[in-house]
Amino acid sequence: MAPPLVLDIDGTLTTPAGGIDPRAFETVPAWDAPVVLATGKAFPYPVALCHFFAIPEQVVAENGGVVYADDEVTLTVDGDRVREAAQAFVDRGGDLGWGTADTVNRWRETEVAVSLDADEALLRSVAADFDLDVVDTGYAYHLKTPGVEKGDGLRSVAETLGLDPEAFVAVGDSENDVSTFETAGRSFAVANADDPARAAADRVTDGAHMDGVLEALAAAR
């Protein structure tokens, strides 16, 4: 039987240009075991993707800050301190980088994402003042509470589903996937992965992005 999966989205199920690879819409729904989407994006994004994949809504969002499975939403940390730090960053001359509407953060509850074009040194300085972490996913800087990780979210979802976290196969591309790699029983970093993800994975695929996912899933079977 196929093992349960925990899949990152950006850089993993996406094309190099950033959109969801069309092959994912065939591959993910056809997988005959539970699939958890684990992402740094705000909660509505992976829920919507589960909807369009036509799979159960089992997600880890905001790098572990929000967990959803079996009709239960859990916020693993309060986001007030992160929001205060983000405001301090702006007050000191920083720019989150997403425009006035800021749809990137509009629905976030536990962390704040900042554009890679932002002043990284200032952001990290503010984060240190508020005892927060900054994680570079390759798509954004994530201002987040220390100790909140995707891997913890995976453990929570696995418990809800009555599964052992070590039964999962994890696929990802970034340092925010390291904790899921450490929690799952087997892990794959796609070829475009950053150095922390590559070092943490059990195997690095030859293919990048969705090509790497397909390679990983073939090996997982």
Distances (CA, A) of 210 to 43, 53, 106: 22, 15, 28
- Catalytic residue at 8? yes
Strand locations in the chain (E): 5-7, 35-38, 59-61, 66-69, 72-75, 112-114, 133-136, 141-144, 169-172, 186-189, 203-204
Q: Would you say 168 and 5 are in contact if contact means Cβ atoms under 8 Å apart?
A: yes
Q: State in Å, rounded, how far the first CA of the chain is from the last one.
A: 7
Choosing from 8, 10, 133, 194, the catalytic residue is 8
Which residues are catalytic, by number? 8
